[in-house]
Amino acid sequence: MHNMNNLRGVDLNLLVVLDALLSERHVSRAALRLNMSQPAVSHALARLRVLLDDPLFTRQGGGLSPTVRALELSPALTEALAQIRAVLGPDGFDPAQSRHVFRLAMSDYGANIILPDLMRLMRRSAPGIDLSITQLSREGMIAGVVDGDIDVALGVFPHLPAQIYPELLLSDRYVCLADRASLPHSARQIDLEDYFARPHALVAVHGEASTEIDEAIHAAGFSRRVALVLPHWSVAPKTIIETDLVLTVAARSIEALRGDKGLAILPSPITLPAIPFMQISHRRRQADPALRWLRSAIAAIAQSSVAEH
C-alpha cells in the first residue's frame, strides 16, 4: 500500500471519483455525474484499488456494493471534500453546473412542506442535482446525519447530540381532527372530558410511541388510550372518518382538509407545546458550499411557506 501521508503521490481527483461511486453505486451513473467517460471512471477505480489496497466495490446485480473499507472511508471522505470545497470558496459549487446527489431524510409532513418547491427549484436552477429521500425515525435520522449517510434531515428533534447543527425552519401547532358526525351539532371545540374519553390515533414512525403530546398529557396528570399507531401523516385523516377516533396532529399537515364537511378541525383542549420543525446537518460539514446552498434553499422555501400562512 502507498504511503497515504505523501500527498504528492496521490491524485486528489481520485477522491472525487470515489465519492461519486459511493453515492451512485454504479460506474455509468458516476461517470454521468462527473462528466467523465465510463472507461475513465473504471480506470480511476482500478487506481484507487491499488492506492488503498482494497477492492472497494464488488459487483452486485447491475450495480456496485461497497466493501467494509469503502464504507469506513465514506464519512471522512465527505468531510475532506467539504473542506477542500470550502478552501476553493463559494465558487467551488455552482448549482447550475454541478452534478450532485443530496441524501435527505424527512417524513411526509416535511416532504409536503418542502419537497414540491425544492424540486421545482432543482429542475429550474440546478438540473444536474438529484435528491434521494428516505423516511426514518427521529433516532434513525440523527444517526444517519452523524454517520454521514444523510446530508440533511427534516423533522422535530427535541434532543440532539453535540455533533449536530440544528436550524429552525418554522413553528407549527397541534390541532385535533375528528369525524364531524361524532360531535355535538355545530361543535367548534372538543372538551377535555370528551377528548380523553375517545380512543386516539397517533402518527409515529417505527414505533415511536412516546411523543411530545403524551409528555404534555402526562405532565398535566392525564392519560389517553392510543387505539391506532400508524407511520403516515397523509393517510391518518382517512382513518378518522366514521369513527370516534381523535387525531392530534400538526395543523399544517391537514391544511387541505379545511373544506372537508365530514371532518372537524378543532383546537386542542389541553395545552400542547409548539412544533419546532427544523433541518439538521453535521457540524463538521458546515463549510461545505454544496450543503450550505441546499440548506439555504430549504430555509427560503420554509420561510415562503410561513409567509403564505
Q: Map out the domains of the chain as residue ranges.
A: 7-72, 100-170+276-308, 174-273
Length of the chain: 309
Q: What are phi and psi of 96, to 5 degrees?
A: -70, -25
pLDDT of res. 309: 64
Please choose, from the candidates 268, 280, 239, 277, the residue with its C-alpha nearest in 3D space to the C-alpha of residue 139. 280
- H or E element, residue 202: strand 200-203
Residues 100/129, Cβ–Cβ less than 8 Å:
yes
Angstrom distance (rounded) from CA 276 to CA 169: 8
Please choose, from the candidates 283, 295, 290, the residue with its C-alpha nearest in 3D space to the C-alpha of residue 23. 290
Instruction: Quote the pTM value.
Output: 0.71
Residues 142/161, Cβ–Cβ less than 8 Å:
yes
Counting as low any pLDDT under 50, the low residues of the chain are: 1-4
Q: In what order do the strands lie in the sheet with 152-155?
A: 129-134, 100-105, 152-155, 275-282, 164-172
**Which CATH code of 3.90.870.10, 2.130.10.10, 1.10.10.10, 2.40.50.100 fits the domain covering 7-72?**
1.10.10.10
**Which CATH code of 3.40.190.10, 3.90.1640.30, 3.10.450.50, 3.40.50.620 fits the domain covering 174-273?**
3.40.190.10
Largest CA distance in the chain: 80
pLDDT of res. 2: 47
For the stretch 126-153, pLDDT in tens is 999 999 999 888 899 999 998 888 999 9
Q: How many CB atoms lie within 10 A of CB 233?
A: 21
Angstrom distance (rounded) from CA 106 to CA 306: 19
User: In this structure, what C-alpha cell is assigned to residue 262?
Assistant: 365530514
pLDDT of res. 234: 79
For cell 414512525, name the residue.
Answer: 205
Residue 242 makes CB contacts below 8 A (sequence gap 6+) with 179, 181
Angstrom distance (rounded) from CA 260 to CA 224: 26
pLDDT of res. 100: 84
Q: Alpha helices, DSSP H only, in 89-227?
A: 108-125, 138-147, 192-197, 212-219
The residue type found at 113 is I
Q: 100-170+276-308: which CATH topology?
A: D-Maltodextrin-Binding Protein; domain 2 (3.40.190)
Residue 108 makes CB contacts below 8 A (sequence gap 6+) with 135, 232, 233, 234
pLDDT of res. 1: 43
Q: What are phi and psi of 5, to 5 degrees?
A: -75, -20
Angstrom distance (rounded) from CA 27 to CA 249: 44
pLDDT of res. 228: 93
174-273 and 100-170+276-308 share a CATH fold: yes
Tell me how far the alpha carbon of residue 45 is from its chain's centroid: 30
